[in-house]
Structure 1
Amino acid sequence: MEIEAGAPGPSPTIEPGSIKERMVLIGEVQFAENGINGASMREIASKAGQRNHYAVQYHFGSREGLVRAIFDYRMKQMEPRREEMLRQAEQQNLLLDARALLDIVMLPQLDLEDIDGNHSYASFLSQYLLRSQSTEFGDFGSESPPHLQRVLDLLRERLFYLPTAVAQRRLVNGCLMFLNMLVSHRGSASTDDQEESFEHAVEDTMEMLVTSICMPLRTSRHLR
C-alpha cells in the first residue's frame, strides 16, 4: 500500500542532475504510460535508483506533489524559448496576432522529447489538463512563469470578444488537440509508414487551432 499525503505545497527546486530531476523525468514517462493515478510511486523510486520505496513522498510530499513538480519543471524549461519567440513577435509587431501567440504557447513543447524520442510530456500534460476544472483563462492549476503568463495575457486581450469561460475552454481544448497530435506522431522523426510528415501535422494543427479558438461566438438559443 502506497502512502499518499495531502495537497501539495510549492514545487521544490529541481537542480540539474539531481535525484529530484531524475524522479521528475521518470515520473513523467510513468504517468504517460500508466496514467497519473495508475503509476506506481514505488516503481518511480526504484527506476530512479532509490531503495526507499517512499522516496517520491520524501522528496515531493505525495503523488500530487510530483505531478505539480513535473508541470512546473517543464514550464520553466520552456521559458527561454518563449522569451525569444516573444522578442521576435514584438520586433515584427505580432503581439496581438493569434497565430504568433499560439505558436509561442504550443511550439516550445516540440523540444520536450524523452530519452526514446517520444513526447511523454504531451501525454502527461493531456491528463493534467483533463483534471482541471477552472473556468479562469490561462489557469492550469499552477502559477505560470512570467513569459508564458505574458503570452496568455496577450492572447486573452486578442480574444476580448469571448466570455472568459469560453476562452478558457477553447484554450484547453486547443492544447489537447495539439498534444494529441504530438502523442500520435511519437516524436518528431518522420517514418516511411507515415502518410503525413510531422512538419505538416504541426502546421495543419496550428492552423486548425487558430480557426477554432478565435472563431466568433455564435448567438443562438441552442448555445444558452
Structure 2
Amino acid sequence: MNGRAGVATARAARSDGKTRLILAAEQLFAKGGIDGVSLREIAAAAGQGNHHAVQYHFGSREGLVHAIFVHRMQQMEARRGEMLAAAEAAGRLSDARAIVEIIFLPQLELPGQRDNHSYAYFLLLYLLRNDGRDFGDFGAELPPNIARALQLLRQRLDFLPEHIAQRRLVTACFMFLNMLTAYADDRVRSSDDESFEDAVDDTLGQIVLATCMPLGSARV
C-alpha cells in the first residue's frame, strides 16, 4: 500500500468510526435521554475500543449531539432538493402545504427509521435543549435545501414576529415527531383506527393550519 492509499484508508476508517458513534449515540439517547447515557457506553455500543472515542472525534457530548443533528440533515438534503425543484416547477413555492411537506416528509425516508424512529425520539430531546429565538435557529448550521425551505416558510409567515414564527415552527416539529413516536408503539401501529399514511396526512394538515393562522385568531 502506498502512502496516499494508506492516508485514504485511514480517513475512511475515521469516517466510518464517527458514523458508528453517531448512530449508536442516537439509539442510546433516544432510549435513555441525552444526559442519561455515558460517553463510554456510546463508545462501547459503537464497537470502539477507545473509551474516549467520543471526545476524540467530537470534542464533547454537545459536539456529538450536534453531529447527530447535522448527519441526519445531510441525509435528507438530496430529497429536499428534489421536492424543492418539483414545487418550483409546479409554481408551489409559496404554498404552505408544499413547504411543510418539504420540511417534514424526508424524515420518513431516513435509513433504518421506518419502524424505529430513534431520530424522532432524539430530535424531540434535541429541540427541548434548543433555546434559539431566531427563526430556523436549531443550534447548528443548516444545509442549503432545508435552509431554503425554512426561508420559504418564513416568507409565508411574514405577518408574525420572529420569535413567534420560531415558536410555531418548533411546535410544528413537536406535532410531527409526536405522531412518528406514537406510531413506533406496536399498540398504535397495530390499530385499525387510522393508517400511518392517514396520520401523516392529517398531521401535516394540522401543522399548516396551526402554523399559518393569523396572530390572535384563536382568542375567544
Which TM-score applies when normalising by structure 1?
Answer: 0.86
Q: Please tell me whether the aligned partners of residues 113 and 121 of structure 1 are also in contact (alpha carbons under 8 angstroms).
A: no
1:151-170 CA-to-partner distances (Å, cap 9, x unmatched) read 11111111111111111000
Structure 1 unaligned runs (5+)?
1-12
In structure 2, how many angstroms separate the alpha carbons of the residues matched to 1:43 and 1:49? 10
User: For residue 169 of structure 1, what is the aligned residue in structure 2?
Assistant: 167
In structure 2, how many angstroms separate the alpha carbons of the residues matched to 1:164 and 1:16? 40
Quote how far apart the aligned CAs of 1:115 are.
6.9
Q: Please tell me whether the aligned partners of residues 108 and 114 of structure 2 are also in contact (alpha carbons under 8 angstroms).
A: no
Q: Please tell me whether the aligned partners of residues 119 and 187 of structure 1 are also in contact (alpha carbons under 8 angstroms).
A: no
Matching of residues 1-224 of structure 1 within 5 Å:
18-114=16-112, 117-186=115-184, 191-218=189-216
Quote how far apart the aligned CAs of 1:120 are.
0.4
Change (3 A) 1:57 1:80: same
Quote how far apart the aligned CAs of 1:32 are.
0.4
Question: Over aligned residues, Cα RMSD in angstroms?
Answer: 2.4
Quote how far apart the aligned CAs of 1:116 are.
8.0
User: For residue 9 of structure 1, what is the aligned residue in structure 2?
Assistant: none
Quote how far apart the aligned CAs of 1:43 are.
1.1
In structure 2, how many angstroms separate the alpha carbons of the residues matched to 1:25 and 1:117? 16
In structure 2, how many angstroms separate the alpha carbons of the residues matched to 1:177 and 1:217? 19
Q: Please tell me whether the aligned partners of residues 112 and 119 of structure 1 are also in contact (alpha carbons under 8 angstroms).
A: no
In structure 2, how many angstroms separate the alpha carbons of the residues matched to 1:121 and 1:151? 20
Secondary structure of the structure 2 residue equivalent to 1:78: helix
Instruction: Give 1:41's aligned amino acid.
Output: L
1:136-182 CA-to-partner distances (Å, cap 9, x unmatched) read 00111111100111111111111111111111000001001101111
Q: How many corresponding residue pairs?
A: 208
Change (3 A) 1:146 1:214: same
Change (3 A) 1:195 1:15: farther
Sequence identity, in percent? Answer: 54
In structure 1, how many angstroms separate the alpha carbons of the residues matched to 2:13 and 2:91? 36
Which TM-score applies when normalising by structure 2?
Answer: 0.88
Q: Please tell me whether the aligned partners of residues 135 and 162 of structure 2 are also in contact (alpha carbons under 8 angstroms).
A: yes
